[in-house]
């Protein structure tokens, strides 16, 4: 049930929200002030289970390591004074004592003057001996004596007790993250259990009537709960223990019950959704009843992520992340991870950063710190170029395809093209792709690049449209720019748009046509022109258009001949969105490409073939990955795959 406030409640509700937008720094400072200092939750763990945890106490070495004077080599324990005069021409004969000291054998006999005791690496030095001579530096003299032809200094090849770790020495400090080396030190001292910071238990709740868990079927108007999975994973990545409690509908009583239950057990509660202005904004009202001091910040000057809500309820942080997955992710990493790690006794996260240039102007909202996801490619001189890859705060794929993000200061209203900036990487290292494709996207492209990927080449494909791709190719920032640009004057595709330094590689043809729902008698059996005429004749018939600049849009406008039927201003940016609008009855017809229409189970009336080709940067033609792409494009395998998907290879 969605709670729509009565009009009388509404202005109060609106006032309650975003009463005061805080800067990112101010919000974080207030949040931390309300939470720290605080005691670290601790627990005892077995050594092997302590990997990755923060040590909660200083550890003092309880014993000497090694615990006794130890031989470092296989040889003979000797008295150095016996060998003071030994030399190449003056061997000294030593009588062997009647014992052999292996590792783990305690010596029984003293090494008296003129004697030696055979000793293995790791064996304890016997009483009387003060050095070890290597077996390689001796000759046997009968069964019970050796000759030594070089002098030894006292302490030679001996590790003294406590020389590695001395009893009473500070071994490890509280706060140290336990890795394999630390585990080694603790094991050497015989320590089997350590007190570490306990993993922070963080409850995760998604909110929204529309949410369905992955694995279940989607009903109309429902979406999969993305935030639950992302936030839980990000908590585990940062040393916490996520307790995912599923999605709760936008119902005040249910949500309050779930939040109270979560706080009984967890150290922290992270919700997502329900923070944007308007109906259904319940969580922050509930927080007011859960404990003191309650809400610290509601509305932070961050983009994405303005609706972030930070609260502390009786010592436990309660956070409401924005609903859009990328917004949820950014705010979580930027504002929550530092607090989570500090509460868990972990050091701040160290993210890798690189310098890069932005090739295009990025507009930004004044007054909000803005994070922009970017894909990195190598420019002409090997310098990194950062392409903004954001598809808006609702897009989850931008996260997976991006290499990192850049930050635009709250006081800037743009980042001009050519700015040298810092990119925070999502992974520890930059993965510079072998082949860079920038331009118009087509599902057919994946069928060709699949071969390269299987051969181990990293292909980066950045969708910026045909015109953007051409610009990138001219600047030498990509290998290939896929384009489908119709030239009205010459009535041809693509070739008229090429400039010096670029050459055309023919790709494939995509049949453009009218889509409609199968069985719609207004369109069934007609040609494209007649179908459009029939649609225009029926005032109840709604179309779906395409965005300005799309090749498809040019065809639609030609067909409409100046008419502006209902739905004309609905201008989605992709072939798939057109098919979805028709399939879901939001529109009755539109124009898309045949493979998309068929995949959506729609009727299709072919109109004209569009040429999807590649502008190849000539200077990059000899690169092995470019050659591999050209080979793949011409291969029987790719051609067959393209045909199966409904494309016609050129």
| List of residues contacting ligand AMP (CB under 6 A) | 206, 208, 210-211, 223, 225-228, 272-276, 322-325
User: What's the min distance (Å) between Cβ of 406 and ligand AMP?
Assistant: 24
- Residue closer to Mg ion (CB basis): 271 or 480: 271
- Residue closer to ligand AMP (CB basis): 210 or 241: 210
User: What's the min distance (Å) between Cβ of 269 and ligand AMP?
Assistant: 15
Q: Which helix (DSSP H) or strand (DSSP E) does residue 377 occupy?
A: strand 369-378
- Residue closer to ligand AMP (CB basis): 276 or 357: 276
Positive or negative: CA dihedral 211, 214, 217, 223: positive
- Residue closer to ligand AMP (CB basis): 275 or 466: 275
Q: Among ligand AMP, Mg ion, none, what does residue 225 contact (CB within 5–8 Å per kind)?
A: ligand AMP
- Residue closer to Mg ion (CB basis): 274 or 307: 274
Q: Among ligand AMP, Mg ion, none, what does residue 482 contact (CB within 5–8 Å per kind)?
A: none
Exposure on the CB side of residue 436, measured as CA atoms within 13 A: 25
User: What's the min distance (Å) between Cβ of 248 and ligand AMP?
Assistant: 11
**φ/ψ of residue 49, rounded to 5:** -85, 0
Q: Strand, helix or coil at 282? A: coil
Contact between 62 and 191 under an 8 Å Cβ cutoff? The reply is: yes
Name which of 351, 352, 269, 340 is nearest 54 in CA terms: 340
Name the residue number minimizing CB distance to Mg ion: 208
- Residue closer to ligand AMP (CB basis): 71 or 207: 207
User: What's the min distance (Å) between Cβ of 274 and Mg ion?
Assistant: 5
Q: Among Mg ion, ligand AMP, none, what does residue 325 contact (CB within 5–8 Å per kind)?
A: ligand AMP
Distance CA 303, CA 453 (A): 34
Name the residue number minimizing CB distance to ligand AMP: 323
Name the residues that contact Mg ion, by CB under 5 A. 208, 273-274
User: What's the min distance (Å) between Cβ of 271 and Mg ion?
Assistant: 10
Q: Where are the alpha helices (DSSP H) in 499-623?
A: 528-537, 551-560, 575-583, 594-599
Q: Tokens 């150095």 identify what position?
A: 80
Pairing of strands 115-119, 75-78: antiparallel
Q: DSSP string spanning 54-71?
A: BB-S-EE-SS-BSSS-EE
Q: Among Mg ion, ligand AMP, none, what does residue 162 contact (CB within 5–8 Å per kind)?
A: none
Q: Among Mg ion, ligand AMP, none, what does residue 433 contact (CB within 5–8 Å per kind)?
A: none
Q: Among ligand AMP, Mg ion, none, what does residue 451 contact (CB within 5–8 Å per kind)?
A: none
Q: Among Mg ion, ligand AMP, none, what does residue 513 contact (CB within 5–8 Å per kind)?
A: none
Distance of CA 194 to the CA centre of its chain: 32
Q: Among ligand AMP, Mg ion, none, what does residue 227 contact (CB within 5–8 Å per kind)?
A: ligand AMP
Q: Among ligand AMP, Mg ion, none, what does residue 551 contact (CB within 5–8 Å per kind)?
A: none
- Residue closer to ligand AMP (CB basis): 325 or 567: 325
Q: Where are the alpha helices (DSSP H) in 190-290?
A: 227-237, 252-265, 283-290
User: What's the min distance (Å) between Cβ of 212 and ligand AMP?
Assistant: 10
- Residue closer to ligand AMP (CB basis): 223 or 253: 223
Distance CA 205, CA 582 (A): 34
The torsion region of residue 217 among left (phi > 0), alpha (psi -120 to 50) and beta comes to beta
Strand intervals (E) in 210-249: 211-212, 223-224, 241-248
User: What's the min distance (Å) between Cβ of 300 and ligand AMP?
Assistant: 14
User: What's the min distance (Å) between Cβ of 463 and ligand AMP?
Assistant: 22
User: What's the min distance (Å) between Cβ of 13 and ligand AMP?
Assistant: 14
Residues 6+ apart with CB under 8 A from 469: 438, 439, 440, 478, 481, 482, 483, 615
Contact between 60 and 170 under an 8 Å Cβ cutoff? The reply is: yes
- Residue closer to Mg ion (CB basis): 69 or 281: 281
């Amino acid at each position: 049930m969605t709670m729509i406030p009565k009009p009388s409640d509404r202005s109060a509700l609106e006032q309650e929200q975003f009463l005061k937008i805080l800067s990112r720094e101010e919000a974080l400072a207030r949040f931390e002030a309300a939470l720290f200092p605080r005691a670290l939750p601790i627990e005892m763990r077995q050594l092997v289970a302590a990997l990755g945890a923060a040590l909660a106490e200083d550890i003092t070495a309880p014993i000497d390591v090694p615990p006794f004077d130890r031989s470092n080599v296989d040889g003979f324990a000797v008295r150095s004074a016996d060998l003071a005069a030994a030399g190449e021409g003056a061997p000294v004969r030593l009588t062997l004592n009647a014992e052999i000291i292996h590792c783990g054998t305690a010596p029984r006999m003293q090494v008296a003057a003129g004697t030696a005791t055979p000793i293995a690496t790791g064996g304890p030095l016997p009483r009387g001996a003060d050095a070890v001579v290597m077996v390689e530096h001796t000759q046997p003299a009968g069964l019970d004596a050796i000759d030594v032809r070089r002098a030894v200094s006292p302490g030679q090849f001996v590790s003294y007790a406590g020389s590695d770790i001395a009893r009473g020495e500070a071994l490890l400090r509280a706060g140290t993250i336990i890795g394999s080396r630390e585990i080694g030190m603790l094991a050497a001292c015989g320590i089997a259990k350590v007190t570490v910071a306990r993993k922070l238990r963080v409850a995760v709740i998604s909110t929204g009537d529309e949410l369905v868990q992955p694995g279940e079927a989607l009903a109309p108007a429902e979406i999969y709960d993305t935030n639950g999975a992302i936030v839980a994973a990000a908590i585990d990545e940062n040393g916490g223990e996520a307790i995912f409690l599923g999605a709760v509908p936008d119902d005040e009583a249910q949500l309050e019950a779930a939040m109270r239950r979560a706080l009984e057990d967890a150290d922290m509660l992270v919700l997502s959704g329900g923070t944007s202005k308007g109906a259904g904004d319940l969580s922050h009202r509930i927080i007011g009843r859960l404990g003191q001091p309650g809400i610290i910040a509601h509305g932070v000057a961050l983009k994405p992520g303005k609706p972030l809500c930070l609260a502390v309820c009786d010592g436990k942080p309660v956070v409401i992340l924005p609903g859009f997955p990328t917004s949820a992710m950014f705010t979580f990493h930027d504002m929550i991870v530092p607090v989570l790690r500090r509460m868990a006794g972990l050091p701040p996260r160290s993210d890798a950063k690189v310098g890069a240039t932005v090739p295009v102007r990025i507009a930004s909202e004044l007054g909000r710190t803005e994070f922009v996801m970017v894909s990195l490619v190598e420019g002409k001189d090997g310098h990194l170029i950062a392409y903004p890859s954001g598809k808006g705060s609702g897009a989850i794929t931008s996260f997976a395809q991006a290499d990192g993000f850049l930050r635009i200061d709250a006081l800037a209203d743009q980042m001009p093209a050519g700015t040298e900036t810092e990119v925070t990487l999502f992974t520890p290292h930059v993965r510079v792709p072998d082949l860079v494709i920038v331009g118009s996207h087509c599902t057919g492209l994946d069928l060709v690049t699949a071969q390269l990927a299987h051969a181990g080449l990293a292909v980066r494909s950045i969708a910026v449209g045909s015109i953007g791709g051409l610009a990138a190719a001219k600047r030498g920032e990509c290998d290939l720019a896929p384009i489908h640009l119709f030239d009205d004057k010459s009535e041809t595709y693509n070739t008229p748009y090429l400039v010096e330094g670029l050459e055309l590689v023919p790709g494939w043809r995509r049949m453009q046509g009218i889509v409609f729902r199968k069985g719609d008698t207004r369109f069934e059996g007609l040609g494209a022109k007649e179908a459009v005429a029939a649609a225009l004749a029926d005032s109840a018939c709604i179309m779906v258009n395409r965005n300005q600049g799309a090749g498809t849009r040019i065809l639609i406008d030609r067909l409409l001949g100046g008419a502006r039927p209902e739905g004309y201003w609905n201008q989605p940016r992709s072939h798939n969105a057109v098919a979805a609008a028709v399939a879901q009855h939001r529109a009755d017809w539109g124009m898309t490409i045949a493979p998309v229409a068929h995949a959506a189970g729609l009727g299709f009336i072919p109109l004209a073939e569009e040429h999807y080709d590649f502008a190849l940067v000539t200077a990059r033609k000899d690169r092995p990955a470019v050659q591999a792409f050209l080979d793949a494009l011409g291969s029987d395998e790719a051609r067959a795959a393209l045909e199966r998907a409904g494309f016609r290879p050129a």
